[in-house]
Structure 1
Amino acid sequence: MFSLSLLGLISLAVAQNVTFPPLIPPSVTLLYRADVELGDRFSLGAIPVGQERVVIPIIGGTFKGPKFSGKILNLGADWRLTDVNGIVRPDARYNLLTDDGTYVYIQTEGPTLTDGHSVLRAKFETATNGTYAWLNQVVGVGILTRSGTSRVFIDMWDFRSGGNGTVG
């Protein structure tokens, strides 16, 4: 018992003398702005992990950014969850097709804020040997704005350290 207490005190003393590296603030670069068309939604009703799950088909749209642009395919949906605290959490999986013919799979999820916007975390997947392979390493952060029930707008950003690291 004494040795565990002593170990805890030593750990605390060491932790207080930690020298952190210089602070590296993140940087964000616009990936794209998207206009996403939505289909008719339906509810699964009350579910074990939350108050309700609503499925919203993603049926089309467009996206445009400084490095790539194209269309949003009619192939995906948002499996939106209203959690036990009443917070709406988009949970979408869908596909992009760039203007030069490359397919990109995207997953987004995150909470809806009290102002009605949703903050999204995004993960991209595409061919590792293609023009857009750099997307596989992107940490995407987006802001979703609703426009009625038939469309949303998403501003998607590439979030990275403010250091010299580069992805694409």
Structure 2
Amino acid sequence: MPTLPMPGLRYFCTLDVALSKPLAVGAVGSGTRRIIPIKGGRVEGPGISGTIVDLGADWQTIVDDSTAELDARYAFETDDGALIEIRNLGVRHGPAEVIARLAAGEDCPPESYYMRTTARLETGHKDYAWVNQTIFVGTGARLATAVRIDLYAVS
């Protein structure tokens, strides 16, 4: 059998996603659901910059006191006019006391909990068509009124 290549990572961008107040859906089959509206933000990286569109949300399922499943869908417009949709799935977990502090709006050091995502991006803009064929992984931090995610393209 041939040896398969190990994937590599290339930094793509940082997403600074501004959030509105969470909406509580309540208990659902797999946990407690809340919807966190996305109200804007910025995208910055080598060769890309833009504004996160005031549209979209993160449909989170709180599984237990220490784990949240993340399911965010939103878009950003690059400074050169491309509209790029992003679907970001992930998980955030950590010690219950750290997660409680995050839920209360406190900033906690990102190394005190785990927040990782996988993202798919889509666009019809020819200059960014390569994102349609690329998987991205992210590492994130929950801030008081925002989320910061560094995205890496997987080679």
TM-score by length of 1: 0.77
Displaced runs of 4 or more, over 6 A:
none
Name the larger-Rg structure.
Answer: 1
CA deviation vs aligned residue, 1:20-57 (integer Å, no higher than 9, x gap): 31242111001101211001111100002x22011000
Let me know the Cα RMSD of the aligned residues.
Answer: 1.6
Q: What secondary structure sits across from 2:130 in the alignment?
A: helix
- Shift of the alpha carbon at 1:86? 5.5
1:120 maps to: 117
Contact 2:58 2:73 in 1 (8 A): yes
Structure-1 separation of matches of 2:78 and 2:93: 30
Structure-2 separation of matches of 1:73 and 1:121: 20
Instruction: Identify unmatched segments of 5+ residues in structure 2.
Output: 95-111
> Is 1:42 aligned to 2:23, yes or no?
yes
> Is 1:81 aligned to 2:61, yes or no?
yes
- Shift of the alpha carbon at 1:85? 8.5
- Shift of the alpha carbon at 1:87? 2.2
2:36 maps to: 56
Structure-1 separation of matches of 2:93 and 2:154: 20
Higher strand share: 2
Instruction: Identify unmatched segments of 5+ residues in structure 1.
Output: 1-19, 161-168
- Shift of the alpha carbon at 1:152? 1.0
TM-score by length of 2: 0.83
1:157 maps to: 152
| Equivalenced residues, count | 138
Q: Which letter does structure 1 place at the counterpart of 2:149? A: I
> Is 1:144 aligned to 2:140, yes or no?
yes
